[in-house]
Amino acid sequence: MLRNFIILSIFSLSLSAISLSFRVYYEVRFVNKVFVVDLNNGYDFWIKGKYYNRIVGAFYNDSYYYITKAYGVYKTLRPQGCFRPQVGYFLAPFIFLFKNYFPLAIITFNSISFAILLSTLLHLLNPNRLAINILVSFLTFALTSYYVPKIMLEPISANFIILCLIFLITKRYKLSLFFIFLTSILRPEFLFVLIFLIFHSRTYLIGLIFSSLVFSIQLFIFIRCKTDQSNFIKWQARGYYEHIKHMDWQRAKEDMAKRGGFLKVLAEDYKENPGQVLSYTFKNIITNPIKLLLFPIVDYKRYVKYRIFFENFNLGFLINYVYFLYVVIGIIYAFIILFSIFKMRSESLVLYPLLFLVILYSFYFILNPVSDLRFKLYLVPFEAFLIVKALKFHYERD
C-alpha cells in the first residue's frame, strides 16, 4: 500500500512539475514576466499596479487585487481596498517568508500541495488499485493544470476542499469542517456545503461556531465595502456584450456609462427584443452545467497564446493536435463522470455538494457562457472522489 502511494505521488508530482515549469518558462521567456519583484517600491507595486502584467502566475485583474491585498497586510497588517480583502491574509505569509520571490513561492506551493493532497485522497479511497488512481490523477491534471500554478483563489480553495474530504474519510469531522470553513471565507457559497456537512457529522457546536464566523466575516466585508464581492454584475455584462452585442469590454463600459448601467441596458434590450435575451439566457441555463460537469470546453484562444512557444521550436503544426488531444480527454472524462454519478448516486455526502455547486455556477454565468476551467477546480475534488469510488466498485464487483 505504501508503495502504491509513493508511485502515485511521484506520478502526480511529475505532472505538477511539468505544468509549473512550463508556466514559468513560457511566461518569463515569451511574455516577459518576472518571478522576482521589488517589495520596496511600494508606489509601483501597490498604487499604480505596475507589476500586474509582469508577475508570473498573475491571471486577470483578480490576481492584481489579491496581490495588493497581501502586500497591504505585509506592510500594515491590513489589506488595502475592498475587493475580497480577506484573501490578503491567506497570501501575505508567502511575502513574509519569501519576500521578493513570493510569486514563485505561491505558484510552487499551489502546484506541489495540489499534487500531494490529490494523491493522498485517491490513495485513501482506493489503496490497492494503483492503475485507477493514476488514471484519475492524469485526467484531473489534464483538465486543471492550466489553473493550478496561478495566483488565484481556485487552487487555494481546491487544496482546502481536498483536505476537507481527506479528514471526512478518516472521520476527523472537526478538521474536515475547519478546512471547508476556510474555503467558505474565500468563497461564501461554500457556507452551504459547510452547513450540509455539519448536519451529516452532527458536530453542531463547532459547526455553529464556524458557520457563524463565516457569516459574520462576509457580512462585515459587505457592510464595510458595500461592493459586489462576487463580481456577478460585471461578468454578466462582459458576457452579454461579447455574445449578444459583439462589443469588446472597453466599448461596453462606454455604452453602459451612456445608458445608465448594465441593468438598465438589459431592461431596455429586453423590451426591444425579449426573444433574443430569453433564448440566450435559456441556452446558457442548458449548456453551462454540461460544460462545467461533463465537457468543460476550454477557450481555443488559450492554445493560440501558446502558439509562439511551439513556433519558437518550429513545432507550430502541433497546436491543433494538442487541442484535439484535449478534446479527446474531455470526452473520455465526460463518460467517466457520468458513469460515476450514476454508480455512486447513493454517495449523497459528496454528490449533493457537487450538484449544488454545478447548478450555482451555471446560474452565476447565466449571461456569460462558461468558457474556461477556473470554476472546475472547485468541482474536481468531489468528482475525483466519485470517480475513484465508482471505478473501484465496478472493478471489485467484476
| 55 phi and psi angles, rounded to 5 deg | -95, 130
Residue with cell 508570473: 56
pLDDT single digits (tens) 377-395: 999 999 999 999 999 887 7
% of the chain with per-residue pLDDT over 90? 37
Question: Which residues partner with 55 through β-bridges?
Answer: 34
pLDDT at residue 116, rounded to an integer: 97
Residue 61 has pLDDT above 80, yes or no: no
In the chain, the amino acid numbered 107 is: I
Please give the average per-residue pLDDT across 154-161, as a whole number. Answer: 95
pLDDT single digits (tens) 32-54: 888 888 887 765 665 555 555 67
Where is pLDDT greater, at 333 or 106? 106
Cell numbers for 349: 455526502
The CA distance from 345 to 59, in Å, is 36
Please give the average per-residue pLDDT across 301-306, as a whole number. Answer: 57
Residue 238 has pLDDT above 90, yes or no: no
Give the model's confidence band at 296: pLDDT under 50 very low, under 70 low, under 90 confident, else very high: low
For 197, the enclosing helix (H) or strand (E) is helix 190-201
How many CB atoms lie under 10 A from the CB of residue 311? 13
Where is pLDDT greater, at 313 or 207? 207
Cell numbers for 172: 476527523
**Domain-by-domain residue ranges, the chain?**
2-225, 232-397
Listing DSSP states for 63-120 in one string gives: HHHHHHHHHHHHHHSS--SSSSTTHHHHHHHHHHHHGGGHHHHHHHHHHHHHHHHHHH
CA 351 to chain centre: 19
In the chain, the amino acid numbered 376 is: K
The CA distance from 17 to 35, in Å, is 16
Residue 337 has pLDDT above 80, yes or no: yes
Please give the average per-residue pLDDT across 327-345, as a whole number. Answer: 86
